[in-house]
Amino acid sequence: MEELVGKLEGILGEGEVLTDEISLASYSYDASGYIYRPEVVIRPGNIDELTEVVKVLMDYRVPITPRGAGTSLVGGPLPVNGGAVIDLQMLNEVLEVDEDQGIVQVEAGVKVAELNELIDGRFMPINPDGTGSSTIGGLAAEDAASPLSSVYGTVKDLILGMEVLLPNGDLVSLDGPVNRSRRNLIDLLIGSEGTLGIVTSVTLKLPTEPEERMAYEITFNDLMDAMSLAEEMEKAGIRQAAFEVYHNLGLVMGSAETEAVGYLEIMGPPECVNAWDSRIRELSNRVGVTSINPIDPYEADTIWKERAKIYEVAKATKSALKVGSFKVSPSSTRDFVQEVDRTSNRMKLKSISVINPLLGWVIAILLHKRSESKEVERAEKGMSEIVRISNNMESSMGYGLGVGINRISADIDEGFVQIYSAIKRSFDPYWLFNPGKLIERD
């Protein structure tokens, strides 16, 4: 270890190779609640340093866990097998900005808040934690989503090109404004959660702010009504910028009696939005919502971009959040949400499910007090149980947040594990790049 640290210090200079207890503890957590302590933390200042550091670590067969801002909810940047954590936040150069095309090339450590400042009138719609502190490298590695993914897709849909450092030390460049091979190899690396390579820079297209928008608060007595409304709106050709239904919100906040509260935003040219407005009211009546009221689109913005509702819950209940993210077919959404309820009841915890009906995206949140170690245990146990249930229900885990330490095993998706393991072995024969994430080692 001493010899290794000496070599690393030779590359980075003093102060950026950390082995003291306080530093190691500081890199042992993210926003997931899990704790895994690294043996060394390495903070390269540029891509050359990163490349050299990775070569040395590979020579010494040390597990390598890349880390951005540490906002993952699934333990993505935690070193479950020990070894080295590489903090990529100092790789934060903006390499290119094309204002006309809205295309930017930035290093992996650039944060969402900074992306929002790059071009007037354009923004980064994927801001999963709502604080703007996540790095683009982390978002690409996890293929992150946000409520606005209904129209903008996930990070994958914004990315035009990437540079990735592979376990063999090669820095490869994939695609860019033009994809010359017209094959989709880049999709193999987006969402690979650091298991195949370390994202060092990303080229992405930032969308423009919408011309006209309108937002609503809708209450439902039955979650299925929300599903029907989303379906009807889609059939009617209404462009849903975001639609999120908060199941149990009233219950947890001690207010409304309704089963669920939904927030909907539509966007487009003014003439469309106005026409859709009356259509939405008509459809709402037809599916039988309890109430529908317009809200200020800027208020809605805080829900999508700052995750205001979720933080309000944490603030009001003074709770920590154990979060799981799942994609469920529309027909089984209600069953799945009921299973979340059942599990949280069994664990004696309150829960909230945030459902995006259009995407079939369910975020299950178990509220717990972190000062009570038994509650923390029950929250972790409850989330594992929900993951197990989701596996039995033909749903997929990790949409928009990544899979992280939950891992996909062969009984969940045999074909995927078989092919991915083969790719993994050819990329990373010693299984050193972010081990313990995404898939079970075969």
Instruction: Give me the least distance between CB of 84 and another protein, in Å please.
Output: 15
Between 27 and 216, CB nearer to another protein: 27
CA distance 438 to 432: 13
Instruction: Give me the least distance between CB of 326 and another protein, in Å please.
Output: 21
CA distance 301 to 306: 7
- Residues 295, 296, 299: CA angle, nearest 5 degrees: 100
Between 85 and 196, CB nearer to another protein: 85
Instruction: Give me the least distance between CB of 69 and another protein, in Å please.
Output: 6
Instruction: Give me the least distance between CB of 108 and another protein, in Å please.
Output: 12
Instruction: Give me the least distance between CB of 89 and another protein, in Å please.
Output: 4
Instruction: Give me the least distance between CB of 374 and another protein, in Å please.
Output: 13
Between 106 and 214, CB nearer to another protein: 106
Between 222 and 306, CB nearer to another protein: 306
Q: What residues make contact with another protein under the rule CB under 8 A?
A: 18, 20-23, 25-27, 29-33, 35, 43, 45, 69-71, 87, 89-90, 92, 109, 111, 113, 129-133, 306-307, 311, 314-315, 318, 320-321, 369-371, 373
Instruction: Give me the least distance between CB of 225 and another protein, in Å please.
Output: 30
Tokens of 95: 């390499």
Instruction: Give me the least distance between CB of 371 and another protein, in Å please.
Output: 4
Between 42 and 347, CB nearer to another protein: 42
Between 320 and 364, CB nearer to another protein: 320
Task: Give long-range contacts, CB 8 A cutoff, 24+ apart: 88-95.
Answer: 88/44, 88/50, 88/135, 88/137, 88/198, 88/200, 89/43, 89/135, 90/43, 90/44, 90/45, 90/46, 91/44, 91/45, 91/46, 91/47, 91/50, 91/137, 91/200, 91/201, 94/118, 95/201
372: left (phi over 0), alpha (psi -120 to 50) or beta: beta
> What is the rounded (10 degree) CA torsion for 232, 238, 243, 245?
-20
In the numeric block, the tokens 């990315």 are attached to 159
DSSP conformation letters of 13-77: -TTSEE-SHHHHHHTSB-SSS-B---SEEE--SSHHHHHHHHHHHHHTT--EEEESSS--SS-TT
In the numeric block, the tokens 């915890």 are attached to 349
CA distance 202 to 204: 6
Instruction: Give me the least distance between CB of 43 and another protein, in Å please.
Output: 7
Contact 242, 263 (CB under 8 A): yes
Provide CB contacts within 8 A for 50, sequence distance 6+: 44, 86, 88, 91, 165, 198, 200
Between 230 and 321, CB nearer to another protein: 321
Instruction: Give me the least distance between CB of 5 and another protein, in Å please.
Output: 17
Exposure b/e, 291-327, CB count within 10 A at least 16 = b: ebeebebeebbebbbebbbbeebeeebebbbbbbbbb
Between 46 and 285, CB nearer to another protein: 46
- Residues 256, 257, 259: CA angle, nearest 5 degrees: 105
Between 315 and 346, CB nearer to another protein: 315
Between 27 and 433, CB nearer to another protein: 27
